[in-house]
Amino acid sequence: MTDAHSPVLDPRLLAATQGLALTARRLVAGALAGLHASRRPGLAREFSQYRAYQPGDEPRHLDWKLFARSDRYFLRESEVDTRVAVSLVLDATASMQHTGEAVGSPRKFDLARSLAAALALLAENQGDTATLHVVADGGVSSVLTGGRRQPFRQIVHALAKLDPAGRWPAESTCLTHALRRAELAGTTAGPGTTARVTVVLTDGHEPGGEIRAALAPLRARQHELLFFHFVARDEREFPWRGPVRFEEWETGRTLEADATALRAAYLAAEQRERAAWARAWDDDRFDYLALMTDEPLERGLRSYLRRRAGR
């Protein structure tokens, strides 16, 4: 059993983390089905549907009676074992230290790593593999779980040691290379692997477009990308008035301005930025979810899982 006093599962967030796992179990047959079942149905007790044979499918799942009638190869979807490789990409850069204006508000980073831990638990319950990739200090470090289907304890242990620092790497291929190394090491693949899901937990802060550049190569590699965007209430509402000195977390740049005069322009820019993340690549392999840091994590995830499970 993982230590309840771990900073990843700290008492303030432990109930929410446990709630996410329990909610997912109730919502779907297997915890991560809500995250990936919409693409390729897996093993089931009842027939689902036929689909055409694809290179790499196991011949033992072919429906030979249908082949005799049609002279074409088909598989019964209910007989296809589905295994998903889950990659958790955690933004641990300096801007994730942001807490919002409310007294006692958690850091974005603490919420993000608690959600990463919950998703690792969901992957374990589903029997899927999971790896953790941490973006911080201008680079990407990975926690490879050896392809084991019990990654939760190892990932939580690594999450507990982290503290946000630095910024996203300027080299746009760092994340792609980290994911590729995990695949080559055999930690996110194996017999029956049919899909790859990359979950990005971030505040979306990128002084020079670094996050978009890092994620763009994943499109060509056919990853399904889930983008969990942590947003603080003060970022959404800009509550400041009068002369204010702003400091950019990751570059140290400062701006002194009349917040009252700046408010309208800031809110318009923030709305455009949020809309741009939501539009993202505008295809069915990208999913966006904004998570307000002053609202219960399980509320947003529950709604999201229901929406995906209903597709």
Write the CATH number for 299.
Answer: 3.40.50.410
Residue type, 190: G
User: Which of these, 11, 5, 10, 37, lies nearest to 24 by C-alpha position?
Assistant: 37
Backbone angles phi, psi at 142, to 5 degrees: -120, 145
Do 272 and 195 share a domain, yes or no?
Answer: yes
Please tell me the predicted confidence (pLDDT) of residue 263.
94
Please tell me the predicted confidence (pLDDT) of residue 149.
57
Do 59 and 170 share a domain, yes or no?
Answer: no
The three-state secondary structure class of 292 is strand
Do 239 and 273 share a domain, yes or no?
Answer: yes
Do 118 and 244 share a domain, yes or no?
Answer: yes
Q: Is residue 6 in some structural domain?
A: no
Domain count across the chain: 2
Going by C-beta distance under 8 Å and a sequence separation of 6 or more, which residues neighbour residue 216? 172
CA–CA distances in Å: residue 89 to residues 57, 173, 207, 215, 223: 29, 14, 19, 11, 13
List residues bridging with 231 in a β-sheet: 292
Q: Is residue 41 in some structural domain?
A: no
Do 200 and 115 share a domain, yes or no?
Answer: yes
Do 161 and 54 share a domain, yes or no?
Answer: no
Do 258 and 121 share a domain, yes or no?
Answer: yes
Q: Is residue 3 in some structural domain?
A: no
Domain C-terminal end among 25, 58, 79 = 79
Q: Is residue 275 in some structural domain?
A: yes
Do 209 and 274 share a domain, yes or no?
Answer: yes
Q: What is the pLDDT along the chain (311 residues), one digit of tens a residue?
A: 445 445 555 444 444 444 433 333 333 333 344 455 444 444 333 445 666 777 766 676 678 888 888 888 877 655 445 567 889 999 999 999 999 777 778 899 999 998 898 888 777 777 778 899 999 998 999 998 766 656 788 888 899 889 999 999 988 899 999 998 888 776 555 545 557 889 999 999 988 889 999 988 887 666 788 899 999 999 999 999 999 998 888 888 898 999 999 999 999 999 898 888 877 776 667 888 899 998 888 777 777 776 766 65
Do 233 and 195 share a domain, yes or no?
Answer: yes
The three-state secondary structure class of 74 is strand
Do 21 and 132 share a domain, yes or no?
Answer: yes
CA–CA distances in Å: residue 52 to residues 73, 76, 224: 6, 9, 21
Do 55 and 133 share a domain, yes or no?
Answer: no
Q: What is the bridge-based pairing of β-strands 50-52 and 74-76? A: antiparallel
Do 118 and 248 share a domain, yes or no?
Answer: yes
Domain membership of residue 67 as a residue range: 50-79
* Three-state SS sequence of 225-262: EEEEEEECHHHHHCCCCCEEEEECCCCCCEEEEEHHHH
